[in-house]
Amino acid sequence: MQERQLGPFKVSAIGLGCMNICHAYGAPIPPADAERLLLNALDLGVTHFDTAALYGFGASETAVGKALSRHRSQFTLASKCGMQGVDVAGDGKLVRVIDGRPETLRATCEAALKRLKTDVIDLYYLHRWDKQVPVEDSVGALSDLVRAGKIQTIGLSEVSASTLRKAHAVHPIAAVQTEYSLWTRNPEIAVLDACRELGVSFVAFSPVARGFLCGPLDLAALDAKDIRRTMPRFSPEHYAVNLKLLAPYEAMARDVGCTPAQLAIAWLLHKGEDILPIPGTARQDHLRDNIDAADVKLDAATMLKLEDLINQQSVSGNRYNDQANREVDTEAY
């Protein structure tokens, strides 16, 4: 596996996003299957594992800790705080809450360390900027965790270039994580340039466009709780338009000699040495397929053809619904 720089860490060029095993795309996979997937990723050369307190309301961190804690020295561990499950009504039912108050971030970190079975988290992201709390205050709390030895470096997720600069003035930011793929090009507006100016690594989540760039989806078959049911691009009217992009895209993958998923990940790898895709999956065959994207070579002409085919003008629908758009701080077209 090729390596890239993630803040001060050398990691595999392709990491593993650990949301899919228990969150957002249907029922969680059995714990034994999650453990096998995580261990196989490590065996295949993945050294960058990305999880969060939100995913499965702690279930993802628990799975990562159970499977990988005894191999802790072999990989870089990233997790996130500032968005987690909270028993708001006191009835035992957890709901997703964005909370960037310093005391909440400290408590979330302590709980994460226990679930992850580790003494330190290598890269700890503010999962969402809580707009009720100055980002400087949230990052200040994370910098206290650095000084306490609980975390090594700080990251931000789904923030604008302006917010990144404010945060970076308080404490050096090691990485920014944002959705980035052929069909979500928002980072190209400003934050990617800001990362390069400040020496901040860029971690691209959802590099295969929530599965869209893997091939046609049966929308009716999606789980009732699948997050894509809330995303405009997967609504019937928008998906019908977007589906027209897939046939020429798949033809390009055949011409290159790779799978559609590999083409999407390879495009990101070719966009810059500072970009680190973290595709997520719950399947062993998809894991291997994603990792093999590191070997796909794309020439300049192919890159341009891909970008001309799938871009912010040709894709129909917003990436998030109105509520989710209000919760993020990223620039938008």
142-146: long-range pairs with CB below 8 Å, 24+: 142/81, 142/105, 142/171, 143/170, 143/171, 144/102, 144/106, 145/105, 145/106, 145/109, 146/171
Show the DSSP H helices in the chain as ranges. Answer: 31-43, 59-68, 102-116, 135-147, 161-170, 191-198, 236-242, 246-256, 260-270, 284-291, 300-309, 322-327
Q: Which amino acid is at 72?
A: R
Quote the CA–CA distance of 148 and 171 in Å, as a whole number.
14
Quote the CA–CA distance of 95 and 73 in Å, as a whole number.
34
Quote the CA–CA distance of 69 and 274 in Å, as a whole number.
27
Which residues, 6+ apart, have CB-to-CB distance to 10 below 8 Å?
Answer: 3, 4, 47
Which residues, 6+ apart, have CB-to-CB distance to 134 below 8 Å?
Answer: none
Specify the DSSP element, H or E, that contains 174. strand 173-179
Return the ∠ at Cα 149 (arms to 145 and 155), rounded to 5°: 50
- Contact of 126 with 100, CB cutoff 8 Å: yes
Environment class of residue 317 by beta-carbon count within 10 Å: exposed (0-12), middle (13-18) or buried (19+)? middle
Quote the CA–CA distance of 292 and 281 in Å, as a whole number.
14
Q: Is 249 one of the catalytic residues?
A: no
Quote the CA–CA distance of 185 and 38 in Å, as a whole number.
29
Q: One of 25, 55, 124, 249 is an active-site residue; which one?
A: 55
Active-site residue list: 55
